[in-house]
Amino acid sequence: MSCVLTLALDGASQARFEDLRQRYFPAALNRIPAHLSLFHSLREEELTHAVLEQAASGQPAFPMQVTELRSMGKGVAYFLQSTEAKALHRSLSDAFDEQLSAQDRQGLRPHVVVQNKVTPDEAKKTLVLLQAGFRAFSVSAVGLDLWRYLGGPWLHLQRFVFRPAG
């Protein structure tokens, strides 16, 4: 089985992104929660769980800055910046090197998609609307979520919780 690994955000930030996704993502196509993907295809095996458990146990929760909105052509995403997220991604990339797909070998560009699979015109309208009230804000990364990919929807398998910040 193939798994997706996402960065778990604090509850308030997750709720904020989920609300936006429910509002702007086509309902018939919205089968997964708002998320920040780290890897799109990891093996579902004991070694994967062990690596993630070890990584999370040594990782303090960390802030991320939501810095901008961008068009994705047929959708809109919030882009985030964090040196800690990039360092964590590099470390996990090294640990999973042998199994990474070409997509997962690319560098991390942290983002949360709130709209996709709409016409370019609808995406442009959403981008203008969301940019009108946009101010950069912070979120907290609190763990790693491992999901089983089910050909569309995902099944949550486990959360690997980071240490409290500080």
d(CA 39, CA 3): 8
Predicted TM-score (pTM) above 0.85: yes
- CA atoms 46, 51, 57, 61: torsion sign: negative
Q: State yes or no: pLDDT of 116 exceeds 90.
A: yes
Specify the pLDDT at position 9: 98
Which helix (H) or strand (E) segment is 38 a member of?
strand 37-43
The domain segmentation of the chain, as residue ranges, is 2-161
CATH class, 2-161 region: alpha beta
pLDDT-based confidence at residue 61 (cuts at 50, 70, 90)? very high
Give per-residue pLDDT as tens, 40-55: 999 999 999 999 999 9
Q: State yes or no: pLDDT of 166 exceeds 90.
A: no
Tokens of 21: 């996704």
- Range 94-106 average pLDDT: 94
